Structure 1
Amino acid sequence: MLKAVVFDDEYIVLQGFKMIDWAKFGIEIVATATNGIEGLEVFEEYNPDIVFSDIRMPGLDGLNVIERILESKPETICIVFSGFNEFEYVKRAIKLGVTDYLEKPITIDMIEESIKRIIEKMNQQKLQSQWELNKEELLEKATLDLLLSGVKAESKWRELFGQIAEKVISVTVLALTEKPLYIDRDPSYHVVSLHNGEAHLLVIFHLEDEIAGLFQEIEDWSEQSKVYVGAGRTYSSIVDIEKSYKEAKQALRYGTFLDEEWTSFDDIGGDMHLPSNLSKQEENILFFLRTGDEVGLEEHLELFINQVKTERLNPQVLEREILKLVYLGIEVARGIDKDNDKLNDYFPHLEIRKLNTKEEMFSWLKAQMELFVNWSNNVRQLTKHISVSKACAYMKENYSKDLTLQEVSDYVGMNPTYFSLLFKEEMNQSYIKYLTSFRMERAKDLLNKGCKVAEVSEKVGYHSPRHFSEVFKKYVGIKPGQFKNTV
């Protein structure tokens, strides 16, 4: 039931309000007041939904009372009445946001008609609010289905998104350890916020080629708030949202490990040679194998084995699942050192055929993974300094090109993901931050020599002067043009 209060210094008006059958409207008069100051005290005590107030009252007039009420609780329904039919009162009342204005002498019929209008308006607002809430929930569900099912869920997504679906030119998924409190609305993009598993997701539907600095806004926020963000690639086809989603989750995981607030999938290289349908436990095992975490590897091997046990697989299927994981481990090992001769003479499919029981297969699997992680950690110690030094020299020599992680990692003969981990371990910063830092210092030198901003942008490897300016400002604190003018 809605709560209402009445403020009027005339006894007959207060008595008249008591004669109305409020219950049939779902309203209860919980208190009255005879002056403005008392009215504010009543409002604070009862927190009503509806306020009826005379304009002319001792102590504090009704419009001042309404103004203070609407400042503290804007959703309050306010009806004012007065015996003074003056335009200024009406105009001020409307400006304050009152719902209705009644002229004295007021009658029961006038009040009941006003109440009916109020209730009708409240019901419309409630329906509108509920419709918007339901629509947003349906949009979120449709987007989540699109993430998980791709083309199977596209038609339903288009149906719910309506006209905006036709405007989408590309899509990007971000995975975050914490949801942003606020994302600016902008005609160049539409963002749907989701939660799936442990990660918060922002699905960004691009409506224009340039999306008004949204990524920079989120990146700045993540650094200030110490929140990790993984960014998938941007795809022009809406059904490729699945790829961007998986890439975002992978980027977030490695970014968290590397202690980098913003990590894009291209920054870690991805696992281009690994299948996309790995189970969660298989992904975990490969992650800990690549990062050299023996404890994490052992823990998730046990979880994988327990999972396989519950599935009651026949010997042939079990052998295939274990071999699959071992060969994936070999792929990771090759990424660490492509020229390793030991792997050329390693034939796990021949070894596993000599085993007769499930327990023998599980023990053999553990032994292979232990062998891989020990070997990779030994290689890490032997090659880390040499490989990273070689990569740094290559970046300094080729910083003016559109240099990618794939190109640098190929140069040192490593898998991109493993190289990014190794670089962070050796240099205490990601390869992209190292490269950016070198480029920005070189840009400062060129600006000091009087070179134009567009010329400097191209010389330090940025084809877009706008992007260069954004990166320079973030690194230096001012735009390149301003920096040049201070020289």
Structure 2
Amino acid sequence: MSARQERYKVLLVDDEPIILRSLKVAIPWEELGLTIAGEAKNGEAALRLIDEISPQIVISDIRMPVIDGIALMKEVLPRSSKLIFIFISGYGEFEYARDALRLGAFDYLLKPIDHDELTEMLSRAKQKLDWQKENEQLMHSVQMLSTLARERMFAEFTLGNPRPLQHLKWLENSELDGEYFMAVVRLDDYAALTAKWSAEEKHLWLFAVRNILEEWSLDNGALSVFPFYNGEWVLLFPGSLSVGKRELGEQLIAGIKRYSKLSCSVGISRSTQGIDQLSTVYPLAAKALFQRFYSGQAGVFIEEETAGIPEREVKYPKELEISLIESIRTLNMERMLVLFDEMACFIEAQALPRELAQRIIIEMIVVLYRQFEDLNMQPDLTLEGLLGRLQGLSTLDHVIDLLKREFREWMQRSNKTLAREDGRSAVDKAKRYIEANYHKDLSIEEVAEVAGLSISHFCTLFKQVSGYTFLEFVTCCRMEKAKDILQNSPVKVYQVAPLVGYQDPKYFTQVFKKATGRTPSEYREEHSRQAK
């Protein structure tokens, strides 16, 4: 047995000291992977010990004073259903022993005790405990996979990627088939916060906020919560809660303030239906959050209540916004400056009134500023400071000149900081980290942090540069290592799984067969024949 494997605890219960002594010396406890954790002379004492030591197996005489064996089992099993009872009975107690089996006992044996029979019985009991433990680990792994994959799938849909993660289509059996709405929670003054936080402090604060949101979500009926941009989380609520949107938002703000002392704002979208609409409602919730910068104070901003730019007067230049975002992500300064000039031309060509022109510029600047935050390029000037300076300018030329000057300086500083690193170097760093840690429970947050990118930017960039999603690349690394182990080492097949990051051998076999078309055993056998 591996030194790392936990021994199961056994409680011996019998009012005859000679039986207790014989059980302790005649059974190969260590070989069985068991240890005697306690002894009791009657059912009453056994009941106390079970609460104290939490054994996995109880070996008990079926007839005892005060509390007999069956009464003891009936008392304990409702709260410890996995506890294994083995009873010792006399020949005249056969019917009593059969009742014990009917009520949930694992097995029984007759006096005088046949130690070989008991050893075989204990071996079967240990196999059952092992199976229960593996099943629990598998269920935990499936639950973790389900949670992580759901988050990743929701984030991909929110980004507008069509039909992501087709191999996890079963997860789309979704609450989002019904009506739902989105809330975007964003920390206020995030750039100022991260400027004073160390990398470790930033990780701890964001982890703390996520925990607060997840616990709050469980208590308040949210369908899902997942991080999106740095300092920003997305929550999805069933449409049945839409009448209380403002109250939900206020509770979110109060909860984060209470437990983390951090201030945040919440933007809430209209209700919609279907998972494909995530990429539609996210901009609506984010746009509602723009009101945070008009109002000058934190709060809850609901899309239906915020006055957007009337469609009949002007259409927001979405394509120009997308091009500007791309120029920032690729650190293409010349392209960015040209696009700012195009923004000025758009506003002039539309002959927009000052108020509408100002609203377009502000919405555009909020989005672009977020890109610098998302790339971990924190500008010296806060968003509030930049918007304040824009308010004091009287002409469109002055506004565009200020934007070009500020964004040029930010990008120049970013270029120096990154030493002209492109996306490929960040992805290469992430790939090296995955290749060195594929055997661990890697999270996408952990690897994105190593790459120095936000989760959303990391996912997009990793796919663009490597051609794989994060999950696909991790699986590929694990499969290649598994093939190497199977070809070049005598390690048993079931032992390969934990070596390449899978706690459950059955699940590993399924993944391996899907990747190679063969089970691990078939793969090893085929390559053994080829080697001969």
The one of the two structures with greater contact order (alpha-carbon pairs below 8 A, sep at least 6) is 2
TM-score, normalisation: structure 2: 0.45
TM-score, normalisation: structure 1: 0.48
Q: Which has the larger radius of gyration?
A: 1
